[in-house]
Amino acid sequence: MADNLLSQNPAETVGNTPKGGRKNRNKDQSGDDDKSLLQGADTSLVPTVGDKDEGDESLKIRIRLNLKAKIPIILITTWPDMAFARRLAILPGGLGGLGSSIGKKLREQGARLAILYAPFEAARRDELLHAGYGSASGTSTSDTDIRTYECDITSPQSVSSAFSALKEEMVSPSSSAASARAFPSILINTAGYVSLSDMELTPPEETMKHLTTNVLGPMLCSQAFARMYFEAAGNAAASTNPPPPGRIVSISSQAAHVALHRHGAYCASKAALLGLARSMASEWAPRGITSNTVSPTVAWTALGKKAWGEDAVREAFLKNIPTGKFALPEDVADAVLFLCQDSSGMINGADIRVDGGFTIR
């Protein structure tokens, strides 16, 4: 509310200053005189000096008085926008190039992160965490900002164990302090798998690996998230503050919409993910969770650069993209962030194609 009116930097805005009143009094001039004048002022509707609403970390209100006019003046100080403050975002695949870009965007908006990484990433966890988030310890500015959990998303037992652990540490910690808890509000399904082979030569085990990683994994994680969200929302129903909306965003692909040569199993799995996301959107939206997908073209991550590093191959593919370039990780992250906003509540069961127009031809 105040962010539209005031500077993002900590600044004070003075209101209710009458003609002839002084706007810029030094703080050392507001001593006992201010206190005596305050005794006659009606402050029942204004917070006490220094108060800050725990539910809104972006706003602080203080009281001063214009001595000449003896009128209370409200001073409002703003902090950077924290749209997802005290909300938990869960990111399967959050150590990857796309996942870390999305995670950083969410952190900038105040979200706390629970990053699920695959067992094969365990040996490089600290390296990947530092590369993606600037942290090699599993934490950021505090112990509850970023946590990591090893999880095989294709295993129901592993998913259950990871979600139980993050719930205990981040959603319902033993500490009774409200600042130690985060509401499970966001799930970003970024983990995925792809391999290339001619259709007639694709081994059955490769097809199953695509389907279990790209479809079963997101389904298991979404089910665990939904159960956690419904429980937290039920507990919050008794409080004066309504629970924040639930948001599931799954990373699909342009391959869900068009046939790509030697990508048969991948195309099938990403198309199935669209159907899964729409089904979740239909069933869970009445209970507070929206579900959407983002379908990027080739993302210029470390893996993308490795796969498309050869100039001739890259230039040939880029000719099929009207914008003439691959997607940056930040391009995909911005689309995901938009779908996570409270203001995106009427977008449900949709797919945003971040493909430069590749699929329109």
Per-residue pLDDT of 149-182, as tens digits, reads 999 999 999 999 999 999 999 998 765 566 678 9
Q: Is 337 helix (H, G, I), strand (E, B) or coil?
A: helix
Q: For residue 304, name the pLDDT band (cuts at 50, 70, 90).
A: confident
Per-residue pLDDT of 200-249, as tens digits, reads 999 999 999 999 999 999 999 999 999 999 999 998 887 778 899 999 99
Mean pLDDT of the chain: 82
Helix runs in 23-96, H state only: 32-38
Sign of CA dihedral 203, 96, 220, 289: negative
Helix runs in the chain, H state only: 32-38, 97-108, 125-133, 156-166, 204-211, 217-236, 264-284, 302-307, 311-318, 329-340
Which backbone phi and psi does 58 adopt, to 5 degrees? -100, 5
In CATH, the architecture of 87-360 is: 3-Layer(aba) Sandwich (3.40)
Per-residue pLDDT of 94-127, as tens digits, reads 999 999 999 999 999 999 999 999 999 999 999 9
The residues, ordered by sequence, that sit 6+ positions from 100 with a Cβ below 8 Å of its Cβ are: 94, 128, 131, 132, 133, 329
Of the candidates 179, 159, 164, the residue with the CA atom closest to the CA atom of residue 112: 179
Q: Considering all CA atoms of the chain, what is the largest pairwise distance in Å, rounded to the nearest integer?
A: 87
Sign of CA dihedral 325, 254, 248, 96: negative
Residue 327 contacts residue 292 (beta carbons within 8 Å): no
Catalytic annotation, pick one of 117, 133, 149, 266: 266
What is 101-136 written as a DSSP string? HHHHHHHHTT-EEEEEE-GGGGGGHHHHHHHHHS-S
Q: Does the pLDDT at position 4 exceed 60?
A: no
Per-residue pLDDT of 22-80, as tens digits, reads 444 444 444 444 443 334 333 333 333 333 344 444 444 444 445 555 555 444 433 44
266 annotated active-site? yes
Integer Rg of the chain from CA: 25
Reading the block at residue 323, the tokens are: 């914008």
What pLDDT is stored for residue 238 in this prediction?
A: 78
Q: Does the pLDDT at position 302 exceed 60?
A: yes
DSSP β-bridge partners for residue 290: 247
Q: Does the pLDDT at position 142 exceed 60?
A: no
How does strand 289-296 pair with strand 246-251? parallel
What pLDDT is stored for residue 71 in this prediction?
A: 54
Q: Does the pLDDT at position 8 exceed 60?
A: no
Q: Does the pLDDT at position 82 exceed 90?
A: no
Q: Is 42 helix (H, G, I), strand (E, B) or coil?
A: coil
Q: Does the pLDDT at position 340 exceed 50?
A: yes
% of residues, the chain, pLDDT over 70: 73
DSSP β-bridge partners for residue 294: 251, 352
What is 183-252 written as a DSSP string? EEEEEEE---------GGG--HHHHHHHHIIIIIHHHHHHHHHHHHHHHHHHHHTTSSSPPPPEEEEEE-
Residue 37 to residue 29: CA distance in whole angstroms:
13
Which backbone phi and psi does 299 adopt, to 5 degrees? -95, 135
Write out the residue limits of the CATH 3.40.50.720 domain(s) in the chain.
87-360
Residue 253 contacts residue 259 (beta carbons within 8 Å): no
Dihedral angle computed from the Cα positions of residues 78, 83, 87 and 90, in that order, rounded to the nearest 10 degrees: -140
